[in-house]
Chain A
């Protein structure tokens, strides 16, 4: 809109210095400690033909209907050498909350990806399974009733499939790797801040437990942490800056792009559960049925459901810890987040057993070799995932002109005013 351009220029100019400062700077200088945990490394000269890879990605589209429902399509694709595996859901439902709508559709995408992986395993696949995005995010969900009127128990299906997939991979030695190119995670920054705080504990006049408590509180309950900071440690300015930095949740990628002077990767860290997840799991361990009845109030009217749900949620505490790190393949590129279940690197810990991110002290050269084999520069960070993405992408045009039209044929009416316009003004 050109008519807004003058105001835009004014606003940007007036905030020029602040934006520029915020874009790169932190309130704390983390350069030195960053470098301690930054491993300089160049990519390996490995070849894609050295690996058997199944790359999985998914896509979705949804549209709110005139009667307040949602029509959605989710699809997932697995691409391996000479073979493809597909899954698709197309459904209609009523959802009370639009935020919930987006979240559940995202979970359904992950669920279909897991189902695609299962299909490949049933087909005898062995090698590496690559997912687009993090693995940690998948294992760290909680089983809760959804707001989808006819699919309230969906998260139970989700966990059933995920647990089965992880068990199967562990049993047959299939490696799972998550590669995220657009991660907003801050586990590495949290790890560095904790290290920094612990290193200065004497100067701060606090013991290790006090520091861990305060920083954990900052992540779990910002308001409580700030209150505690104000009432108990108001004279410790440095601690305040650490807590503020922690609460701000700036992504690790910002840190890497600011401080990494060369290609390399962050020290692989063992990631554990969040406080919220831990609380839920404790509840499950204490009384799984109570948990199920509390978190699935509508579904729990069926005793059959409760029996099945209890069986599933009881397995959730066994969810594995995840080893995660970021890699910067070259200085002119952006980082990638790499996740693998900890057991793949010889650490048999569960998510529940790990608290703050800790140095995993593992050899990730096999993973780096695979990443190197699939890396082709900033425009193609992973050839396998790119192939899956190309194949699964669902364009708006296809969704509206093909999928939506078929759905409208079934229900017999235009489900949005757009359908009417499409016919009137083709």
Chain B
């Protein structure tokens, strides 16, 4: 151990293998979330060995024997004036584990009262929160120890991951960091991106290139939030119209199951068309049939004309799946039902490829706004395949990263299949309850910390980390797309534009006046 040990207190009171209390100097006590270390003895391989138990301060409590809560104001004032307050400061620490031969274990014994409590040395923490180079993803630094980098394990993704945070807390930013790290490790990544938040992943912040291996798949409906000059390697994503089943067309168009006659007409029209038709062909066929139900079907099917994602070919999933590659599927501008269908289509094809062994590498699927695709109470196209991947994806190497700001709106089964969670600032009690219900690793004390996190700070629990960790997410190398707009800058820009307009209007008026004046002077 390179650092000399700095003693900050002594273990007191009751201790158990998961937590202990220690008394600290009231004038100089460590902050909450600080990491501490206590020497203890554990039985490993039948032998008793001395180990360094690492723990994190969960709470700090100050108390005074002289001041009880039932005291009157006068009594407290007098005791204070007499200098008899004698504060005692106690800290409660949550045990994180101990390292033995490079692995983290949970203690089976309680630390002993009277033991010295040290500030955890930096090198111990670095070891605690690191993984071998080819396994670790560098995600940030400990919140309370900015000199300690934190890596999470890519192996933990096998049992899926959820990134949960309220709007503006930095979840897309954190997802971007993970994507950068996974890309460096050679991962195949597909991002389902409803708001074009990830389309600039190929660029560094200064505009230079981050990677050539980032492709953006846009539909003709894409909002164009960023023009092509800001986004490299843009492809069109289309679905061949004739690939849609009657049920899929009906669902996308909004034809309910109870409209049996309309559905019957639609089914018959498609049957008449055979193979290789397009939307115009279907509309023409319905018109030709001319019966009441076919004409009513036209009213629904016509809506698809405005959804230009349905064309004459289906984009090959192979274009999205490449080693060391990020495919961002930009779903911006699409109707919810169409987005749902596209996500379903892509996820099904990815799953199919892996299930059949047609693609050799694991695929990491990031689903932004996951509550839209796998909602709690509604049925969607994507919900079925997402739940299937959540349940069985690890067998075939399809790993989900569900990202949402509304955990309570997401299907609880899908969420609880995410064995690792990156949870950022969250104040809504319903969302907190959903997180609590979905993760056995999220202790009450960690949950209580969530509202106190700053933007960019996260609690990480689950298989991606050796012990729950509170981390400040590192700076992204790439351009982020999901950030809030800079209101002040935009207002300043608007003001400049308005002033320019004012100036040019005044100029025109002045010119007009000059013109009139010269005409009048000519008459004189």
Contact = CB atoms under 8 A, between A and B. Distances in A.
Nearest to A55: B84
Interface string B360-386: 000000000000000000000000000
A387 B84 contact: yes
Interface in A350-391: 373-374, 376-377, 379-380, 383-384, 386-387, 390-391
B74 A376 contact: yes
A226 interface: no
A48 B81 CA distance: 6
B44 interface: no
A47 B78 contact: yes
Given A376-B72, A376-B74, A380-B71, A387 B81 contact: no
Contact of A48 (B65, B71, B72, B82): B82
B82 A384 contact: yes
Interface in B454-485: none
Tell me which of A51, A374, A380 has the highest count of chain B C-beta atoms within 10 A of its own C-beta. A380
B66 A48 contact: no
B72 A387 contact: no
Given A376-B72, A377-B72, A386 B82 contact: no
Tell me which of B65, B72, B81 has the highest count of chain A C-beta atoms within 10 A of its own C-beta. B81
Contacts of A374: 78, 82
A81 interface: yes
Tell me which of B81, B82, B83 has the highest count of chain A C-beta atoms within 10 A of its own C-beta. B82
B49 interface: no
Contact of B79 (A377, A379, A383, A391): A383
A53 B70 CA distance: 24
Contacts of A47: 78, 81
B5 interface: no
B66 A376 contact: no
A407 B198 CA distance: 71
B227 to A, nearest CB: 70
B228 interface: no
A82 interface: yes
Contacts of A391: 65
Contacts, number: 51
B508 interface: no
Given A48-B82, A81-B83, A383-B82, A377 B75 contact: yes
B449 to A, nearest CB: 34
By size class, the interface of chain A is 20 to 34
B143 to A, nearest CB: 36
Contacts of B70: 379
Tell me which of B66, B70, B78 has the highest count of chain A C-beta atoms within 10 A of its own C-beta. B78
A390 B63 CA distance: 14
Interface residues of B, number: 14
A51 B78 CA distance: 12
Nearest to B76: A376
Interface string B57-74: 000000001100011101
B65 A390 contact: yes
Given A386-B66, A390-B65, A49 B75 contact: no
Contact of A383 (B65, B75, B86): B75
A79 B86 CA distance: 10
Interface in A27-72: 47-49, 51, 53
A81 B66 contact: no
Contact of B75 (A79, A82, A376): A376
A384 B78 CA distance: 10
Contacts of B71: 376, 379-380
Nearest to B82: A48
Nearest to A375: B78
A373 to B, nearest CB: 7
Contacts of A376: 71-72, 74-75, 78-79
B66 A390 contact: yes
B72 A49 contact: no
A49 B81 contact: yes
A339 to B, nearest CB: 21
Contacts of A380: 71, 75
A81 B82 contact: yes
B81 A79 contact: no
Given A48-B82, A81-B83, A387 B74 contact: no
B84 A373 contact: no
Nearest to B65: A390
Contact of A373 (B66, B75, B78, B86): B78
A8 to B, nearest CB: 32
B168 to A, nearest CB: 48
Nearest to A377: B72
A47 B81 CA distance: 7
Contacts of B83: 81-82
Interface of A: 47-49, 51, 53, 79, 81-82, 373-374, 376-377, 379-380, 383-384, 386-387, 390-391
The 6 closest A-B pairs by CB, nearest first: A81-B83, A48-B82, A376-B75, A49-B81, A48-B81, A387-B84
Given A51-B82, A377-B74, 15 more contacts: A48-B78, A48-B79, A49-B81, A82-B83, A373-B78, A376-B72, A376-B75, A377-B72, A379-B70, A379-B71, A380-B71, A383-B82, A383-B84, A384-B84, A391-B65
28 contacts: A47-B78, A47-B81, A48-B78, A49-B82, A53-B82, A79-B84, A81-B82, A81-B83, A81-B84, A373-B78, A374-B82, A376-B71, A376-B72, A376-B75, A377-B72, A377-B74, A379-B75, A383-B66, A383-B78, A383-B79, A383-B82, A383-B84, A384-B84, A386-B66, A387-B65, A387-B84, A390-B65, A391-B65
